[in-house]
Amino acid sequence: RMRSSPSSSAAMASSFALRRLHMRGKGGLCKCLQKGRCGSLHAVQAERLEQAQRSILISCYSRPTEKKFLKYLSRHGDVKKYFFYESYGVYAVVEFANRDGVASLLEEAVIPSVSNEALVPFKSRLLSLKNLSSVDSNHFKHFECVKIVTNKHSWGTVSTLQVVSLTETYQLTDENIRLRFLVCSLLQDIAAAYFPECTIKPFGSSVNGFGKLGCDLDMILDLDGISGGKPKSVLSLEFQLKRANSERAVTQSILSVIGECVDQFGPGCVGVQKILNARCPLLRFAHQPSGFQCDLTASNRVAIKSTELLYLYGELDPRVRSLVFTVRCWARTHGITSGIPGAWITNFSLTIMVLFFLQKRSPPIIPTLDHLAELAGSADKCVIEGNDCTFVIDISKIQLQSNTETLEHLLREFFEFYATFAFSKMSINIRKGKEQNKPEVAPLHIQNPFETSLNISKNVNATQLDRFVALCQESLWLLQQSGTNTPRVGNRSNTATPWGLATLLLPSQVAGVKSRKKRRREPASERIKGLLDSLKNNSQPKKS
Ligand code: GTP
Ligand code: MG
């Protein structure tokens, strides 16, 4: 399918990122996963979940050589993929060609004997490999570990990165995504003790295409597969079920028992918190072997739909992902967003703001949600608790307009757009692609795309909104000073060297929001000039 071809280097970057995959072993991802274009998130998820069920996670105590390790595993079945990573020790993710390999390996595994302690005899696919001694280790190359986690405070290195390589460097890698699906699959084994037909799958930034290394793992316990059954005959036989006052009460009791189970029997799961009175009840815990901070919810189908929508928008044009990613990094660097819940703008709200901005370009880069709903077929119909969540899933039905603005130009325009947006009167609405009068008083009003009477940024206070606006003004000013604001369509050298971006990601440059007015009247300080010059001279990306 032909699309408008933006001259931005993002397209090249995403294909480069895919080529960069350093998986070893036989076989490969299916074509649609390689291209990241199955058309729908649903199809990508189904394949990833199936892969995860054929996979195991091994803690490698004695650091075997790669050759020995493979030889040992191959005795149990055909190894399709494997990789090593480090997180308080070395771990390996191993994908067998089929589930028999996993079963054979588990059959050989033993429950260890320990003195002075007692063990809960729960057999999972999280194993430890102890006695593959590496006597001949000098003769073989030791394995390399891929990067699964990143230092969350390493933004200093971003100063020399460019807009595209920023996305490429910090976006989730294939290995990281595999590990996320494997963690879901391991938890599913635990939940299956109660609900054998359940599925646990990731949503949010782990799969919406905007996730950055180190982001949390949002999971949903999906019990929908349990409902339904064969068509009724004359005689009707039905299950007797426990009843509760509301869906919410059912969700709370399910999460409560699964929380207990994860806490007491879940290998590697620590610090389990049951947050059952939240608007959306959830379990929060850390999965130590992967290093992921996990949130497990149930009956949160609207969030799955939001994830599918963000994924779809990200698939439409490579500039969407790069711009969202850059804005998310920029916001995090300056404390606009935070890992702690509070009055901050969330990444979800920020993403919707970027999408809205892209709908407002002339011509628009992405269509409105109403338009995506118009294109939907009968199979796309989706109503959740009375909310119409229908939109087209088949990406090939979406016609894009020809907009060739560069990423750097879009970034500058983004700052300008929100530096001057009428937040006091208007609401951001991606359904209509137009600002609407605010239906209620709140500093920032962003209509929930599916539960349209709700404001997704209700938590944001005036101080946080003011900080956001001031930072947009400041960043715009910095970009104007750096002189990179002229869009030169089709000129690769321009798109590849947005060195002005580097200044936006240095906390020291944009942090002085209070002195904004003063700075505006003054020419750029010598310090900033010197910095920009050094960045100009050093505009090649450095990979960390
Ligand atoms: P990170 O900050 O990288 O974790 O981004 P995220 O997109 O995963 O956000 P978060 O973990 O806060 O939420 C997970 C998903 O839940 C989001 O992607 C949305 O789909 C959904 N979500 C989060 N906040 C809201 C909200 O206020 N309203 C609605 N409707 N959905 C939300
Ligand atoms: Mg998340």
Tens-digit pLDDT profile for residues 106-161 = 999 988 888 888 888 889 999 998 876 544 444 334 456 666 554 443 433 333 34
Question: Which of the two residues, 370 and 158, has the higher pLDDT score?
Answer: 370
Q: Ligand 1: which of 150, 207, 348, 387 to mutate, most ligand atoms within 8 Å of CB?
A: 348
pLDDT band at 434 (very low <50, low <70, confident <90, very high): very high
| Closest alpha carbon to 280 in 348, 213, 232, 338 | 348
pLDDT of residue 300: 86
- Whether 290 lines ligand 1, by a CB cut-off of 6 Å, is no
Q: What is the mean pLDDT of residues 477-482?
A: 79
- Whether 306 lines ligand 1, by a CB cut-off of 6 Å, is yes
- Whether 207 lines ligand 1, by a CB cut-off of 6 Å, is no
Q: What is the mean pLDDT of residues 240-263?
A: 94
Share of the chain above pLDDT 70, in %: 74
Question: Which of the two residues, 286 and 225, has the higher pLDDT score?
Answer: 286
pLDDT band at 382 (very low <50, low <70, confident <90, very high): very high
- Whether the pLDDT of residue 361 is over 50: the answer is yes
Q: What is the mean pLDDT of residues 91-102?
A: 95
Point out the ligand 1 atom lying closest to the alpha carbon of residue 457: 27
Q: What is the mean pLDDT of residues 46-60?
A: 95
Please state the φ and ψ torsions of residue 130, each to the nearest 5 degrees: -110, -45
Give Cβ neighbours of residue 261 (< 8 Å, ≥ 6 apart): 190, 191, 193, 194
Instruction: Give residue 71 CA to ligand 2 midpoint distance, Å.
Output: 38
pLDDT band at 28 (very low <50, low <70, confident <90, very high): very low
- Whether the pLDDT of residue 66 is over 90: the answer is no
Long-range contacts of the stretch 331-338 (C-beta < 8 A, 24+): 331/468, 332/155, 333/155, 333/158, 333/505, 333/507, 334/471, 334/507, 334/510, 334/511, 335/467, 336/464, 336/467, 336/468, 336/471
pLDDT band at 39 (very low <50, low <70, confident <90, very high): low
pLDDT band at 73 (very low <50, low <70, confident <90, very high): very high
pLDDT of residue 147: 63
| Closest alpha carbon to 312 in 303, 320, 322 | 320
Q: Which amino acid is at 480?
A: Q
Question: Which of the two residues, 499 and 122, has the higher pLDDT score?
Answer: 122
Point out the ligand 1 atom lying closest to the alpha carbon of residue 337: 2
Lowest mean pLDDT among 108-122, 230-244, 298-312, 527-541: 527-541
Point out the ligand 1 atom lying closest to the alpha carbon of residue 450: 30
- Whether the pLDDT of residue 34 is over 50: the answer is no
- Whether the pLDDT of residue 81 is over 80: the answer is yes
pLDDT of residue 185: 98
Q: How far are the Cα atoms of 120, 203, 304 from residue 206, in angstroms, in the given order?
A: 31, 6, 12
- Whether 218 lines ligand 1, by a CB cut-off of 6 Å, is yes
d(CA 531, CA 502): 10
HSE-CB at 267 with a 13 A cutoff on CA atoms is 21
Helix, strand, coil percentages (3-state) for the chain, rounded to 5, are: 45, 15, 45
291 dihedral zone (left: phi>0; alpha: psi -120 to 50; beta): left
Confidence check on the interface: ipTM exceeds 0.90, yes or no? yes
Question: Which of the two residues, 180 and 484, has the higher pLDDT score?
Answer: 180
C-beta separation of 217 from 292 below 8 A: yes
Instruction: Give residue 204 CA to ligand 1 midpoint distance, Å.
Output: 6
Q: Which two tokens mark 86?
A: 């480090």
| Closest alpha carbon to 11 in 308, 316, 352 | 316
Q: Which two tokens mark 172?
A: 């989730």
- Whether the pLDDT of residue 413 is over 50: the answer is yes
Please state the φ and ψ torsions of residue 59, each to the nearest 5 degrees: -85, 125
pLDDT of residue 86: 86
> Residues with Cβ within 5 Å of ion ligand 2?
204-205, 216, 218
Count of CB atoms situated within 10 Å of the CB of 197: 11
Which residue reads 């929001």 in tokens? 513
- Whether the pLDDT of residue 174 is over 50: the answer is yes
